[in-house]
Amino acid sequence: MKKIAVIGGSGIYNIDSFVEIQEHYVETPFGAPSSNVVEIELDGVRFYFLPRHGKGHKLSPSDINYRANIYALKMLGVDTVISISAVGSLKDDHAPKSFVIPSQFIDWTKGLRARTFFGEGVVGHVSTAYPVERALQERIADELSKTNIPYSVGGSYVCIEGPQFSSKAESEIYRSFGADVIGMTNVPEAYLAKEAGMAYATVAMVTDYDCWKEEHCSVEEIMQVMKENYESAQLLLKNLIPSLGRNPISFEPENKHAVVTNPNIISKENQEIIDMLTN
């Protein structure tokens, strides 16, 4: 049976129809995830919720243990991951309060984040040519089409290190890439999900126009837009989770033949990690 997880901010969690079943403390070979994983029931369908920044939003984007987060969900049997993320817009087409369901990611982080499950005695290669699972992207879009939330499908999300927002010069560089939105959290999260054989897709909630547009936006104003965006995300999830639970998407994991290291020299601990990722 397929299992669903949502990774996002705590603003997603406040839905009246959510019934909390239990919290799961999960210990991984990569350390502790951002928080205990909360198991929730919505309209008869159970799913997991993981607050990306920890309870109380205590973890900066660079301090998040992305490997532990994805691995913990994998240990719980999750194979479908919905990322809910706040972003800045790099195009006029994507106005604040609209949602973008990107197809691609551009990694513009600074190398501070552990971004693969492989290494330390194991070499593995997984294609991230298509980091977003199309079937999941299409299902999200289908559910958004039943709401009044403005949205678009496709395009690229450029991920920067943060926690500072961009300078205007940097913002113009990212626009020159043709990127659609900018955020701080979806890489390496998306690539790790790919290594773990999971279907992954992002709901990118636009809060502002970054700083390329001559429209100064304070952090307070951004937080107000974010609050409204979370209300829209709650509306989406109330329909999306039951839809995925009752009619799961079909996809083919691309991590089955990733490891190229001679199996005779792989340690027991590393083999256990490989087996979990490819299970």
Distance of alpha carbon 16 from the chain centroid = 23
Nearest CA to 193 among 202, 181, 205?
202
- The single residue of 16, 79, 142, 210 carrying the catalytic annotation is 210
Q: Is 142 a catalytic residue?
A: no
Q: At what angle do helices 219-246 and 134-144 cross, to 10 degrees?
A: 110
Active site residue 63: no
Q: What angle do CA 98, 101, 103 make, to 5 degrees?
A: 145
186-195 and 66-75 helices, crossing angle to 10°: 40
Contact in structure between 84 and 8 (CB atoms under 8 Å): yes
Buried b (16+ CB within 10 A) or exposed e, 221-239: ebeebbeebbebbbbbbbb
* From 63, 107, 208, 275, active-site residue: 208
Active site residue ranges: 208, 210
